[in-house]
Chains A and B, each alone.
Chain A
């Protein structure tokens, strides 16, 4: 079993839809949770991060972590074609070189 599980998609939604992307994890030591966005043939870019449980909002994006169920979510409101990318979730603990453990990524396509 992988430490971070993520549905690879692809997920296709119409422009303006609310998108929900989800991950589960198994490592109880994870304290920090990240969402990276990766466009085709590019390096990932940090989109959101959350410490421990709770919600964090940044514009159209909301990251949510529920440590009791080991569940990570990213919501995108008013989705745009420019949101079409692969979204990677990741978690890490507080030691060991701050190593990140990534999910496999979910491919999202927002259609006009």
Chain B
């Protein structure tokens, strides 16, 4: 079955630690995205990548880093510089093109809690 896998489902981190969230897709999508979701704030874009070895900052990139070494993988690192990392993190991917039916397809999410 084609889809997006995010792991782990739940993640706990101590303050001052870096942590990496995994996102893998077997949909052969070129573009991939990372969002965080907080209560009452909807989804906010952290980073996105349209092709391998290239990525751009979204609206709230500070304290996060990404890499895109393979088409199917787009890991997100939450660094100790992120002041309020506790949130629900969502990864999405998309085929190229403008047509609406090629909209972003989301993974199941990772809930990160800082202890």
> Chain A residues in contact with chain B, CB under 8 A?
4, 6, 8, 32, 34, 36, 41-46, 49-51, 88, 94, 97-100, 102-105
Q: Determine the interface band of chain B, counting residues with CB < 8 A from chain A.
A: 20 to 34
Minimum C-beta distance from A69 to chain B (A): 21
CB < 8 Å A-B pair total: 60
> Chain B residues in contact with chain A, CB under 8 A?
4, 6, 31, 33, 40-45, 48, 50, 56, 58, 88, 90, 94, 98, 100-101, 103-109, 111
Minimum C-beta distance from B82 to chain A (A): 20
Contact yes or no, B42 A97, CB < 8 A: no
Q: How far is the CA of A6 from the CA of B44 in the complex (A)?
A: 15
Minimum C-beta distance from A22 to chain B (A): 15
- For residue B43, which residue of chain A has the nearest CB? A102
Contact yes or no, A49 B103, CB < 8 A: yes
Out of B40, B50, B109, name the residue touching A43 (CB < 8 Å).
B109
